[in-house]
Every structure is written in C-alpha cells, then in structure tokens.
C-alpha cells in the first residue's frame, strides 16, 4: 500500500507538473504551427499544400524526435528546480528474529529469543547553500531547453520548406507530364500528316521518317515524365509518413502566381535580422549560454555546501537486562536535527580538469554560435539571389512560350499549305516542347525559391502557406 501510494503521488506530480517545467511544451510535434493533429486516413483529393505541410509537421519521425528532445530538456529543468527543495526518504523494515545461544556448562545463561521486530525511520536533507551550484545547474538546464526549442523550430522550418519543395516538384512533374502528352500528340499529328504527304507523293519519304523519329523521341520523353511524376509523388507521400505508393492527387501549377512581386527589404537588412532571429542561431546561442553555466556549475561543485539534516526512527526491538536474563518487549526512538557542512578537500586534481573541459566546451559552442550566424547569412544571400533570378525567369518563360506557340502555329500552317518543309515544322515543335517545359519548371522554381528564402529567414508560417 505504501509503495502504491508513493507511485500514485509521483504520477500525480508528473501529470500536474508541480515545478511548472513542462507548461510551455507544445501539444503536438508541429509546435505552434499546428495545434491539433487530426487527419483522415486518406489525404484530400486534391491534396493542398497546407494539408501536406501539416501532415508532415505532425507525423514525420524527425519532427516528433525534435519534440521529444524538448520534452526531455523540460524534464531536465524540473530536475534542476527540484534541487532547491528538501529530500525526504522513509524506510520501514519488518522481520522475524530467532536467536538461540547455548552456553556450555551454564545452561542458565543460555537464551532462546523469538520476536517480530519492526523499525521505521524518516530522513530529511535540505541543501541550504552551495556557492551557486544549483543556480548554475538551473541556468544550464534552461539553456538546453531553449536550445531544444529553437532546434525544434529550425526542424519545423526545414521540413516545412522540404515538403513545400517536394509538393512543387510534384506539380512540376505533373506539368511536365502534361506537356509531354501534348508534345506526343502534336508530334503524332505531324507524323500522320507527313506520312499522308509521302503517300500522295507530295513530300519525300524522309519527311515521314523524320517525323516518325521525332514522335518516338516524344514517346520516350513521355515515358520518362511518367516515371518522374511517380517518383515525386512517392517522395511527397514519404514526407507525410505515408506509404510511397499512397495515391495522391495534386493540382497542377497555376499561371496566376504573382511572380512580379518586388522586395521591400534590402538583402543586407535581411541578413542582419536573420543573424539574430533565426532558430538555428538562437539554438547555438542558447547552447553557448548553457555551456557557460556548466563552467560555473562545475566550479561550484568543488566548493563547500551547507545542508539541513534531520532524522527520526522508531523500533520495537526486545531488550534484555543482561546475559541469561529474559527479554522484554520494548520500543525505542531516535531523533536529531542539525546542520551538515561538506568541504571537498582533495579530489585528485580532477576538479581542475573538469573545469578545463567545461571551458573548452564553452569555447566550442561559441565557435558554433559564430558559425551559425555565418551560415544563415550565406543562406539568405544565396536564397535571395536565387529568388531574384527565378522571378525574372518566370517572366522570361512566359514570353518564350508565347513566341514558341506562335512560331509553331505559323510553321504548321505553312506545312499544311505545302509551302513549308518538315525540318521547319520539327524545329518549331521541339522549341515549343522546350518552352512548355521551361514554363512549368520556371513557375516551380519560383515557388521553391520564395519558400526557400522564407525558410532561411525562419519566417515560414502556416497562415501564409499558399
């Protein structure tokens, strides 16, 4: 009963978080981005980007791993806070004692004792002063918790961006598949037209063979596009922790994207901001501060400590007045209250090296902090330039597609009228097919680039997901 009561008390303390160490932990692996992770077994049809991202943030093993790390560090904060409270331990012992003593030649002095002995004790230990060791330990735990939270934010940003990229890759693959279908149909019509002209003797047979060759190349490209689309769909399903073979329906790339948007903030200002606010920088800074606290904690552990100690014990050990005399039932108790001073006098120089190790770890974390700032600055610069180029190419691809479409239509009319040749028609067909693919890829690249920049800035949010 006693053990069960203690276990129940421990469970209650954890459930109610007595030391308030776990109160700020997110309810889901997706943090503040998705507060409730409830989904149908089958993804939506069509699957929207918002749902794909939410499923990934909630269900991907890596995001859950980062969430578990936060919970572990929060528990570490609870452990550090618990060090400020007294520890109380109880001990109960019950035993059946049988003691027989046979003294040769003096049977009157022999004894035969049979008794049930019970004893109980309570111990209290409360550290009152330790030269800042507990404070440093709490700072270290808080720093590690903050680092875990920032790492979780960075993980969510990375998987947000990765899922968005894979989603846009599916859209691009589906767009290229659609374009490949159109090109295959276009080359098939041209092949039939060339064959009819060759049969009527209007055009040489080489025209029909060239048109057939181009059509076979279009069939080859169509087959590859189908394979690429299935690969992209499997990757997106895996992001959401679904079976790669799960059937997904993703809408195609839309032409109404505002690719002419301009930037309101200079890249220099973006870099200055991200070196302060990005989750990876915050994680590195928190780890550095935790390492500094660890140095103080290690040093304080080698200094004296003062504790309040107390004990009360009670037993019913039978007592005897002397050898050969009968034993009588008895009870006894013992109690004390005092102050204990612990002074480490010599630790074999181990403390010196432990402090040196902690300092070296702090130096390493400081270098990691500087490297994190350097890396996010480079990431933002590269992503900014990529988005700038993608924005321009989105407009260029639209112009290219219009020109290629007009050129092919003109060549087709000329060929149908008998004034054009097969080479002109095939060249314009190839140019149109290339322009269609470039247009789809340019739109996908633009979507990827803007998501990548937002991710490197640490600004990806569920509200602006579309």
Pairwise CA distance, residues 431 & 133, whole Å:
73
Residues 373 and 297 placed together within one structural domain of the fold: yes
Residues 388 and 297 placed together within one structural domain of the fold: yes
Angle between helices 205-239 and 49-59 (to 10 degrees): 40
Residues 192 and 263 placed together within one structural domain of the fold: yes
* Full residue range of the structural domain in which residue 101 is found: 86-129+304-343
Residues 390 and 446 placed together within one structural domain of the fold: yes
Residues 178 and 324 placed together within one structural domain of the fold: no
For residue range 17-67, what is the model confidence (pLDDT) as tens digits?
A: 888 888 888 889 988 888 888 998 899 989 999 999 999 999 999 999 999
Q: Residue 113's domain is classified under what CATH number? A: 2.20.200
CA angle 166, 171, 175 (to 5 degrees): 145
**Residue 252, in any domain of the structure:** yes
The string of DSSP letters for 326-340 reads PEE---EEEEEEEEE
290 and 212 Cβ atoms separated by less than 8 Å: no
For residue range 198-240, what is the model confidence (pLDDT) as tens digits?
A: 888 877 888 888 888 888 988 998 999 999 999 999 999 999 9
Per-residue pLDDT band for 136 (boundaries 50, 70, 90) equals very high
Per-residue pLDDT band for 322 (boundaries 50, 70, 90) equals low
Residues 222 and 276 placed together within one structural domain of the fold: yes
Residues 323 and 359 placed together within one structural domain of the fold: no
Number of domains in the chain: 2
**Residue 24, in any domain of the structure:** yes
**Residue 3, in any domain of the structure:** no
**Residue 14, in any domain of the structure:** no
Pairwise CA distance, residues 460 & 453, whole Å:
9
Residues 382 and 277 placed together within one structural domain of the fold: yes
Q: From 288, 320, 343, give the residue that closes a domain.
A: 343
The whole-model pTM stands at 0.79
Per-residue pLDDT band for 145 (boundaries 50, 70, 90) equals very high
Q: Residue 220's domain is classified under what CATH number? A: 1.20.1600.10
Residues 73 and 109 placed together within one structural domain of the fold: no
**Residue 10, in any domain of the structure:** no
**Residue 2, in any domain of the structure:** no
Type and span of the H or E element at 122: strand 111-129
Pairwise CA distance, residues 156 & 103, whole Å:
80
Residues 240 and 319 placed together within one structural domain of the fold: no
Q: From 343, 370, 395, give the residue that closes a domain.
A: 343
Residues 223 and 264 placed together within one structural domain of the fold: yes
Higher pLDDT, 7 or 342: 342
**Residue 364, in any domain of the structure:** yes
Higher pLDDT, 203 or 144: 144
Residues 334 and 437 placed together within one structural domain of the fold: no
**Residue 46, in any domain of the structure:** yes
Q: From 343, 374, 405, give the residue that closes a domain.
A: 343
């Amino acid at each position: 009963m006693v053990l069960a009561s203690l276990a129940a008390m421990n469970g209650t303390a954890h459930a109610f978080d007595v030391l308030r160490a776990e109160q700020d932990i997110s309810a889901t692996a997706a943090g503040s981005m998705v507060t409730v992770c409830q989904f149908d077994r089958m993804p939506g049809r069509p699957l929207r980007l918002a749902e794909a991202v939410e499923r990934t943030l909630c269900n991907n093993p890596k995001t859950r791993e980062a969430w578990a790390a936060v919970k572990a560090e929060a528990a570490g904060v609870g452990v550090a806070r618990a060090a400020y409270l007294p520890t109380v331990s109880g001990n109960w012992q019950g035993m059946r004692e049988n003691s027989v003593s046979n003294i040769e030649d003096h049977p009157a002095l022999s004894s035969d004792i049979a008794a049930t002995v019970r004893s109980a004790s309570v111990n209290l230990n409360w550290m009152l002063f330790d030269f800042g060791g507990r404070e440093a330990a709490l700072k270290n735990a808080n720093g590690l918790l903050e680092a875990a939270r920032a790492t979780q934010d960075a993980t969510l940003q990375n998987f947000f961006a990765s899922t968005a990229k894979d989603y846009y890759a599916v859209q691009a693959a589906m767009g290229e598949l659609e374009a490949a279908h159109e090109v295959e149909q276009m080359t098939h019509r041209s092949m039939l037209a060339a064959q009819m002209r060759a049969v009527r003797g209007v055009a040489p047979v080489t025209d029909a063979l060239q048109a057939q060759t181009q059509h076979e190349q279009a069939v080859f490209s169509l087959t590859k596009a189908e394979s690429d689309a299935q690969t992209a769909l499997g990757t997106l399903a895996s992001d959401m922790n679904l079976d790669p073979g799960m059937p997904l329906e993703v809408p195609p790339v839309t032409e109404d994207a505002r690719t002419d948007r301009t930037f309101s903030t200079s890249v220099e200002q973006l870099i200055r901001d991200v070196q302060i606010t990005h989750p990876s920088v915050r994680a590195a800074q928190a780890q550095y501060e935790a390492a500094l606290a660890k140095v103080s904690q290690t040093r304080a552990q080698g200094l004296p400590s003062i504790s309040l100690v107390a004990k009360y014990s009670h037993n019913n050990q039978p007592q005897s007045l002397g050898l050969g005399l009968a034993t009588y039932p008895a009870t006894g108790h013992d109690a004390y209250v005092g102050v204990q001073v612990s002074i480490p006098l010599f630790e074999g120089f181990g403390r010196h090296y432990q402090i040196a190790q902690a300092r070296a770890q702090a130096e390493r974390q400081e270098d990691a902090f500087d490297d994190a700032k350097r890396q996010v600055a480079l990431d933002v610069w590269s992503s900014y330039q990529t988005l700038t180029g993608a924005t321009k190419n989105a407009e260029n691809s639209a112009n290219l597609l219009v020109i290629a479409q007009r050129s092919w239509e003109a060549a087709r009319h000329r060929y149908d009228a008998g004034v054009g040749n097969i080479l002109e028609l095939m060249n314009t067909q190839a140019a149109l097919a290339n322009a269609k693919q470039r247009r789809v890829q340019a739109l996908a690249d633009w979507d990827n680039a803007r998501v990548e920049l937002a991710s490197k800035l640490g600004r990806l949010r569920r509200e602006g997901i579309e």
